[in-house]
């Protein structure tokens, strides 16, 4: 893990990396601030609360609630925005550290659509179930890590694996490595939980997952590529 993290940190020296960080963080922050403001305005305009000071209290309460929920939903949102740039970022990391690997391909649009829909409903379902626990101190941290461990592991794994493997092979490798990827996802969730480090989390998560899959000669993705090449031999 620490070797993967050390290698991931080296990507921060690239100007493109700094652009991705700035864009994804600023966009995510603006989105949640806008939602908090919208929720506050909606409560203030409600006809259900006649008393002005109750309206003010409800407005600030709803805004604060949105910010709290935004903090815990921050990982999946910032990751989704950063994933707009994940492929070129992963290409740069691979060219720097693993030039011997075959060149990655853009994910097939049908595979990407299936993955996006699958990720979307899982993210909505898991976070909907976890929503009440996000308001309970201490418990919210545990729930946060467990929920986002699975979501982050799946999102980053598939985003990187589909650059080299068809969806069927990527699914098979995920099933084989499910527990190890879940642990890596938990480590990624912790990145998003620590103030300051969460600003770097999408880049670190991309690097850590990529190095976990490719760094060792017997890395999971390297083995899958070898098996795929063997199957394609006449």
Residue with tokens 């060149």: 103
Confidence of residue 62 (pLDDT cuts 50, 70, 90): low
Query: What's the confidence (pLDDT) of residue 65?
Result: 64
Distance CA 168, CA 27 (A): 33
Q: Choose the weakest-confidence range: 73-77, 205-209, 222-226.
A: 73-77
- 15-24, 138-147, 154-163, 224-233: segment of lowest average pLDDT: 224-233
The closest alpha carbon to 206, from 94, 117, 72, belongs to 94
Global pTM? 0.72
Q: Above 80 in pLDDT, residue 106?
A: no
CA proximity to 204, closest of 3, 13, 12: 12
CA angle 153, 159, 162 (to 5 degrees): 120
Q: Is the pLDDT of residue 230 over 80?
A: no
Q: What is the pLDDT of residues 126-168, one digit of tens each?
A: 877 887 887 788 888 888 888 888 888 888 888 888 888 888 8
């Amino acid at each position: 893990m620490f070797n993967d993290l050390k290698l991931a940190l080296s990507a921060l020296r690239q100007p493109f990396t700094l652009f991705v960080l700035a864009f994804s963080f600023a966009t995510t922050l603006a989105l949640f601030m806008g939602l908090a403001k919208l929720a506050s305005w909606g409560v203030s305009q409600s006809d259900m609360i006649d008393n002005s000071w109750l309206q003010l209290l409800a407005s600030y309460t709803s805004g604060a609630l949105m910010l709290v929920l935004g903090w815990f939903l921050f990982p999946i949102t910032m990751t989704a925005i950063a994933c707009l740039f994940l492929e070129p970022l992963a290409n740069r990391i691979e060219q720097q550290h693993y030039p011997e690997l075959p060149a990655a391909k853009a994910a097939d649009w049908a595979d990407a659509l299936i993955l996006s829909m699958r990720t979307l409903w899982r993210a909505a379902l898991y976070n909907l179930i976890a929503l009440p626990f996000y308001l309970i101190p201490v418990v919210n941290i545990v729930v946060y890590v467990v929920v986002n461990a699975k979501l982050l592991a799946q999102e980053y794994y598939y985003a990187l694996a589909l650059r080299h493997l068809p969806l069927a092979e990527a699914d098979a490798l995920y099933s084989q490595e499910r527990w190890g990827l879940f642990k890596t996802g938990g480590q990624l969730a912790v990145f998003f939980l620590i103030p300051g480090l969460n600003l770097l989390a999408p880049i670190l998560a991309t690097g850590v997952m990529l190095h976990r899959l490719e760094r060792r000669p017997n890395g999971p993705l390297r083995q899958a590529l070898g098996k795929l090449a063997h199957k394609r031999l006449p």
